Structure 1
């Protein structure tokens, strides 16, 4: 397989785990993620893009609480295989049927059979995904008065995805390329960006694409917490270290040994705690509160902040040496306002996510609604957009479209700039110069929109690949430099 397929296994049965590990190896293009219970499985599916969910019923199948139900409603593109022992779990048949599982398999698993079934399930899921997109496009073509002729995010266009991060913009493409590079190392990562841009999602994507993905990723928010409490949460404490310490506490750094610790709002830590964190980053030393014993832990730190740490260093409120230790890789997540081309694909992604959850069949989003969404600045970034889409799906008519009337008033009343592509005003003194400046802007916009897929851009603009390459060279258009 040229594309890595992510398989999530929920099981505590050593026989099932061994069979899955044998049948679906990384050498064959599979990435295996393990979990022991439904709650963890649901969390993993919301963090990582899962292609196939292998669900071991265990000794009982609690249908209403099952992660399979969540998978079918919120992650429609994920294939499902149910595994159970019919003698001890007869309700496994009902669970497989209710959750539209591709197939059910009996224990003990045959690795050869599992390998074939997994491959067929993934093929079927991909065919189903393409069928949904084509069906939507066919319906849209019949309603071309309210939809664009070639909807963005379609088979022709598509979008890129890094786990649960969805985008088409060149800004996000460059960010994800660097994030993937950081995932292949053990260096600390500093993620900066406005609230709601998806910093934690990016951190989880880095973890699950790293060599540490089989170990835990634990999260600690450093904002609004007393220094002693934060020290206890991360480094642990011994019994009697302070009033209320009735037992020993391991601490996240030791609990996540071999894995990742995500420190959110790291800009809020005190100067005293900055010294302790710097020592840990340098030596891996963990000294629990109230203990004289120095322990060690192998943990990768991913830190995040919605403030500029560099400016804090200049102001003297953040240690310069700690800043340089944290920024092995520095990733700056752009605000949604500076990448409005991501709004349509994010909107469609969230529509598909929430339509199943609330039991709505939503056919699409009208062009008029998308224009207002793109025009709105979204101060709350992707998180605000997701909440808006969730509300729109809830109020949309069954089997209908999300239209302008379904948007909240603050968005529907946002004025739209109809001055042409991106409000572009041609430059130049002669007609020839103005036409060339317009042509350059159109080519650049098409390249950015398609993530520099030159074959697609050439097709969309009615050019040959050579013709497009000549225009890129003629107008000195370079990726990531705004031309």
Structure 2
């Protein structure tokens, strides 16, 4: 249920040879739908590349092609368009062929009565929406089951944990997911903060599927780049005529997800006026569609997601303080991948196995040098960047061969090459012990800077234990708050 899916009314393509019949039907349907009229299969198929169509109503007999063949060709190009065949109904084999070849939804017997056609259209569009939601839920379930299977087959020497679609072995993510599991047992609104690509939506889905709402629907809405009026309609719905282009009633996400969960992504981009409406909904559960003077109530759990600290926006006056406190019934901050490098190997192997399976390739592992390079890279795009890197590498690597360092992208390899080399003392002054200590201190500071102060990662880069690095930091009085 994205903004693009709901921004315009459904488009009906009428492929009818009787011009008067087409005009009469179009006039009756145009109060709720956008209608396009053509009289031949060639005209209909010429529209495929330029006009997405929700429904096509086609005559069984056209001058240039049979209606069944036209619907079949349309099906191959726009498979999600609902197909109707209409005719006199004198030949039973005609509908049987259409059902088998073109997968028509219904055969409309002529003459076409607008009231009956309208009823069939409404039922068909509702069926398509239910089917879409079913596919999404089936996809989520399949992904969840595959994730469990991959986790079970992961490296036995590296204990892994899982929270729905999230995989990790770091203590930081373990704490985050344990908090999320406890949060799932409540009905508190949740605010999730994290950089782009850290897995905020996956965490939100995990919270939903661990809650008592798991049997109800989970819907997501991106608030970024959506005009305020359209976003208001997406969330609260509208009545016909509420604004220009509102040709029919629309159910908002808060009503559609009654009993379930709604994820509001990029909440920081929501307009100030809509923030007030969201605050009222969080306080009372009231839903008032645009253009309506009546309110109803909906029981929805809100999970808000942002990659911008909302407290900073509150200080700047760009976000309502009362809404911020209402949204952060419980606040969860996901650390970036560079702060939990121990997860890189686990995630890389998970993605490599997953993509190898989907591409029909044999998985042969990831080379030690390649893993070492991946663990040194800071991944500004976080888990999503790592996933894309592994996808590309698996796609290009021959089946049955391990992923080696030379198969990684230039961006990652060049980062390793460009790492600054440590200056070597000239030996012009100072004792050997003093020069050695200066070099050692310089190397420790450089490693901490490269790793943004992460001591575990710096210790690994230096070939030290975590305790060994801590001792050197203490010995040389190094400021660990290095960015």
Name the TM-score, length of structure 2 as normaliser: 0.59
Alpha-carbon separation, structure 1, partners of 2:382 and 2:168: 13
Alpha-carbon distance, 1:438 to partner = 1.7
- Who is 2:207 aligned against? 206
- Classify 1:396/1:170 alpha carbon distance in 2 versus 1 (closer, same or farther; 3 Å): same
Paired residues for 1:100-111 under 5 Å: none
Alpha-carbon separation, structure 2, partners of 1:308 and 1:376: 25
Alpha-carbon separation, structure 2, partners of 1:438 and 1:310: 38
Alpha-carbon distance, 1:424 to partner = 3.6
- Who is 2:310 aligned against? 309
Tell me the matched-pair count: 305
Alpha-carbon separation, structure 1, partners of 2:206 and 2:471: 33
| Structure 2 segments unaligned to the other structure (5+ residues) | 1-130, 420-442, 448-455, 473-483
- Classify 1:358/1:262 alpha carbon distance in 2 versus 1 (closer, same or farther; 3 Å): same
Alpha-carbon separation, structure 2, partners of 1:315 and 1:352: 46
Alpha-carbon separation, structure 2, partners of 1:212 and 1:162: 17
Alpha-carbon separation, structure 2, partners of 1:353 and 1:437: 36
Alpha-carbon distance, 1:435 to partner = 10
- Who is 1:154 aligned against? 155
Q: Tell me, yes or no, if structure 1 residue 386 matches structure 2 residue 416.
A: no
Alpha-carbon separation, structure 1, partners of 2:215 and 2:134: 16
- Classify 1:260/1:422 alpha carbon distance in 2 versus 1 (closer, same or farther; 3 Å): closer
Q: Give secondary structure in 2 for the equivalent of 1:414.
A: helix
Alpha-carbon separation, structure 2, partners of 1:379 and 1:332: 17
- Who is 1:43 aligned against? 140
Q: Give secondary structure in 1 for the equivalent of 2:416.
A: coil
Work out whether residues 362 and 402 of structure 1, in 8 Å CA contact, stay in contact via their aligned partners in 2: no
- Classify 1:403/1:435 alpha carbon distance in 2 versus 1 (closer, same or farther; 3 Å): closer
Alpha-carbon separation, structure 1, partners of 2:376 and 2:176: 23
- Classify 1:36/1:282 alpha carbon distance in 2 versus 1 (closer, same or farther; 3 Å): closer
Q: Tell me, yes or no, if structure 1 residue 423 matches structure 2 residue 458.
A: yes
Alpha-carbon separation, structure 2, partners of 1:360 and 1:391: 13
Work out whether residues 238 and 289 of structure 2, in 8 Å CA contact, stay in contact via their aligned partners in 1: yes
- Who is 2:220 aligned against? 219
Work out whether residues 362 and 396 of structure 1, in 8 Å CA contact, stay in contact via their aligned partners in 2: no
Query: 1:154-180: per-residue Cα shift (whole Å, max 9, x none)?
Result: 213221110110111111111111111
Alpha-carbon distance, 1:193 to partner = 0.7
- Who is 2:243 aligned against? 242
Query: 1:10-68: per-residue Cα shift (whole Å, max 9, x none)?
Result: xxxxxxxxxxxxxxxxxxxxxxxx9985554123323xx32xxxxxxxxxxxxxxxxxx
Alpha-carbon separation, structure 2, partners of 1:38 and 1:436: 47
Q: Tell me, yes or no, if structure 1 residue 179 matches structure 2 residue 170.
A: no
- Who is 1:8 aligned against? none
- Classify 1:39/1:218 alpha carbon distance in 2 versus 1 (closer, same or farther; 3 Å): closer
Work out whether residues 372 and 414 of structure 1, in 8 Å CA contact, stay in contact via their aligned partners in 2: no
- Who is 1:344 aligned against? 345
Work out whether residues 169 and 339 of structure 1, in 8 Å CA contact, stay in contact via their aligned partners in 2: yes
Alpha-carbon separation, structure 2, partners of 1:236 and 1:35: 19
Paired residues for 1:31-70 under 5 Å: 37-38=134-135, 40-46=137-143, 49-50=144-145
Work out whether residues 35 and 41 of structure 1, in 8 Å CA contact, stay in contact via their aligned partners in 2: no
Moved over 4 A (4+): 34-39, 416-421, 434-437, 439-442
- Who is 1:405 aligned against? 406
Work out whether residues 459 and 466 of structure 2, in 8 Å CA contact, stay in contact via their aligned partners in 1: no
- Classify 1:286/1:408 alpha carbon distance in 2 versus 1 (closer, same or farther; 3 Å): same
Paired residues for 1:135-146 under 5 Å: none
- Who is 1:372 aligned against? 373
- Who is 1:438 aligned against? 468
- Classify 1:282/1:423 alpha carbon distance in 2 versus 1 (closer, same or farther; 3 Å): closer
Q: Give secondary structure in 2 for the equivalent of 1:280.
A: helix
- Who is 1:466 aligned against? none
- Classify 1:43/1:336 alpha carbon distance in 2 versus 1 (closer, same or farther; 3 Å): same
- Who is 1:318 aligned against? 319
- Classify 1:392/1:437 alpha carbon distance in 2 versus 1 (closer, same or farther; 3 Å): closer
Query: 1:255-278: per-residue Cα shift (whole Å, max 9, x none)?
Result: 000000000000001111110000
Alpha-carbon separation, structure 1, partners of 2:147 and 2:270: 41
Alpha-carbon separation, structure 2, partners of 1:437 and 1:77: 35
- Classify 1:338/1:327 alpha carbon distance in 2 versus 1 (closer, same or farther; 3 Å): same
Alpha-carbon distance, 1:375 to partner = 1.0
Alpha-carbon separation, structure 2, partners of 1:300 and 1:435: 45
- Classify 1:228/1:404 alpha carbon distance in 2 versus 1 (closer, same or farther; 3 Å): same
Query: 1:99-154: per-residue Cα shift (whole Å, max 9, x none)?
Result: xxxxxxxxxxxxxxxxxxxxxxxxxxx9xx87xx5xxxxxxxxxxxxxxxxxxx62
Q: Give secondary structure in 2 for the equivalent of 1:240.
A: coil
| Structure 1 segments unaligned to the other structure (5+ residues) | 1-33, 51-74, 79-125, 134-152, 426-433, 443-483
Paired residues for 1:326-365 under 5 Å: 326-365=327-366
Work out whether residues 361 and 399 of structure 1, in 8 Å CA contact, stay in contact via their aligned partners in 2: yes
Q: Give secondary structure in 2 for the equivalent of 1:161.
A: strand
Alpha-carbon distance, 1:439 to partner = 8.6
- Who is 1:164 aligned against? 165
- Classify 1:380/1:245 alpha carbon distance in 2 versus 1 (closer, same or farther; 3 Å): same
Name the TM-score, length of structure 1 as normaliser: 0.59
- Who is 1:414 aligned against? 415
Q: Aligned-residue CA RMSD in angstroms?
A: 2.7
- Classify 1:154/1:77 alpha carbon distance in 2 versus 1 (closer, same or farther; 3 Å): same
- Classify 1:261/1:348 alpha carbon distance in 2 versus 1 (closer, same or farther; 3 Å): same
